[in-house]
């Protein structure tokens, strides 16, 4: 609780009201901005204005240099599979799928799925291209195998 000297006790309600107003300000955080972009069908990540490095997972500070000067930029969508694993589940629950780590051309690595090939066929070094799709009724970044997908580089 806010404690004030006796001679300023009358300011207490004003200060508490001001704090309440500040707590109610709704500015979108980095994750919300990323999700809003996906909902519009846009795959955008952050880039540091100071060091030029691309940043993913959305955050407030550049993890390369510590700057808070981050901007949202469109990415090429080009990537390479760094690692992949197959998640096994019953056909009635959707069947098997892959979880892959993808190195984006811009530098960041992200976790996603390669969706246009059998999960067992996703290979390390496979070139892939990004698109915005849906997972569990939520927009997500998914990847096509470059050779089989309909997305152009």
* Spans of all domains in the chain: 26-74, 76-153
- Using one digit for the tens of pLDDT, what is the confidence trace for 84-105? 999 999 999 989 999 999 999 9
Q: What is the CA radius of gyration of the chain?
A: 22
Mean pLDDT over all residues of the chain?
86
Label the pairing between strands 70-74 and 54-55.
unpaired
Model confidence at 146, pLDDT cuts 50, 70, 90, reads confident
pTM for the whole thing? Answer: 0.76
Residue 115 CB partners (closer than 8 Å, separation 6+) = 133, 142, 143, 144
The arrangement of secondary structure in 76-153, i.e. its CATH architecture, is Beta Barrel (2.40)
pLDDT at 1 over 60: no
- Using one digit for the tens of pLDDT, what is the confidence trace for 31-75? 999 999 999 999 999 999 999 999 999 999 999 999 999 999 999
Q: What angle do CA 27, 31, 37 make, to 5 degrees?
A: 90
Tokens of 140: 């997500």
**Which of 1-5, 10-14, 146-150 shows the highest mean pLDDT?**
146-150
């Amino acid at each position: 609780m806010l404690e004030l000297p006796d001679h300023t006790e009358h300011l207490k309600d004003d200060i508490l009201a001001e704090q309440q107003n500040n707590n109610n300000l709704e500015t979108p955080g980095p994750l919300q901005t990323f999700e809003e972009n996906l909902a519009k069908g846009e795959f955008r990540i952050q880039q540091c204005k100071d060091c030029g490095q691309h940043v993913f997972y959305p955050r407030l500070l550049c993890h390369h240099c510590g700057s808070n000067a981050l901007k949202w930029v469109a990415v090429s969508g080009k990537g390479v599979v760094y690692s992949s694993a197959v998640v096994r589940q019953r056909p009635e629950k959707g069947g098997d799928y892959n979880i892959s780590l993808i190195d984006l051309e811009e530098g960041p690595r992200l976790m996603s799925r390669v969706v246009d090939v059998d999960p067992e066929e996703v290979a390390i070094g496979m070139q892939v291209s990004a698109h915005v799709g849906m997972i569990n009724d939520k927009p997500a970044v998914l990847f096509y195998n470059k050779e089989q997908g309909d997305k152009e580089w």
